[in-house]
Amino acid sequence: GAGVSQSPSNKVTEKGKDVELRCDPISGHTALYWYRQRLGQGLEFLIYFQGNSAPDKSGLPSDRFSAERTGESVSTLTIQRTQQEDSAVYLCASSFRLAAYEQYFGPGTRLTVT
């Protein structure tokens, strides 16, 4: 079956512009996660969604970052007024449910803010 897909694969934007990143999780996976990976660094947790529960937004670095998820399907991560330090690969993952289950990652969106 299809894995986690993300779009776009690459995004170059000017400082101050808003960007929207999309994630399509694996069908049937109730949990969805967003991570950020800066060059040469580990993954940094941003936010997760589990079913219809309120999302855990504790990893979002500032109020310029927000995310939504429609039911148990598509999620979008929005970054407003982008800054150069937002340049990174944004990875989405899904899992069958929370906790103790492996996460399946998409290929990521490489965001470059010029």
Number of residues that bind another protein (CB under 8 A): 30
Write down the least CB distance from residue 16 to another protein, Å.
27
Q: Which one, of 61, 52, 16, 11, lies nearest residue 34 by Cα?
A: 61
Q: Which one, of 72, 14, 15, 79, lies nearest residue 46 by Cα?
A: 79
Question: Is-contact 25 70, C-beta < 8 A?
Answer: no
Greatest CA separation found in the chain? 39
The interface with another protein within residues 60-99 (CB under 8 A) comprises: 91, 93, 95, 97-99
Question: Is-contact 44 59, C-beta < 8 A?
Answer: yes
One of 11, 82, 108, 113 touching another protein (CB under 8 A): 108
Nearer to another protein, 80 or 110 (CB): 110
x/- string (CB under 8 A) for another protein, residues 32-61? Answer: -x-x----xxxxxx--x-x-----x-xx--
Q: Which one, of 81, 74, 57, lies nearest residue 66 by Cα?
A: 57
The footprint of another protein (CB under 8 A) covers 4, 31, 33, 35, 40-45, 48, 50, 56, 58-59, 91, 93, 95, 97-108
